[in-house]
Structure 1
Amino acid sequence: MIIFGTKGYLYQLAILTLVCGRCGNPAAHTLRKHVTKFSLFFIPLFPVSTKYTTQCTFCGAEERVTKEAADHLLTQSAAGQGPHISAQPQQQYRP
């Protein structure tokens, strides 16, 4: 008997200050990475899919972003003050 399946992992990459595309408020957004891995006998072997999302902490709206956009947001965060709420001027982000 072979036991296999998938398991999801959620990684919080950064918290950024952006203007929300839904509510229009400058608020903190969490940048998250969702990875689904194939597992065999409860051991995760390789990733099947990877998705990046941002979620507004004010209204809860979640938007899916591309890997390139997520990398761009991470480099902007790292150039500022690290992976936390930045004191930089707010920037409008719409994928």
Structure 2
Amino acid sequence: MEYSKIDKQGRIVIPSRIRKLIGVEGEAEVLIRVEGGRIVIEPVSRNLEERVKEWVETALSMRVEPFSEEVEGAWKWMSEDYAKRKLGLLS
């Protein structure tokens, strides 16, 4: 926790240690909202395309295979016809 002052124009300086913790360097946009009696300030990333690219790269690097293990008797409670009807493969 660190203290800061609000000047006459309503400006506040966020200490450099806190800015570093939340990844804010130089000028940045923030989202400000009030929750109860608290002011919450969150950094806003406008570089959504880059963030999505990083997420995709991370997800693809995991090399996780869906349904990689067989579960014995997993379908015993659902018939093939029922599953096809739910998927819209049967009328």
Q: TM-score under structure 2 normalisation? A: 0.27
Q: TM-score under structure 1 normalisation? A: 0.26
Bigger share in strand: 1
Bigger share in helix: 2
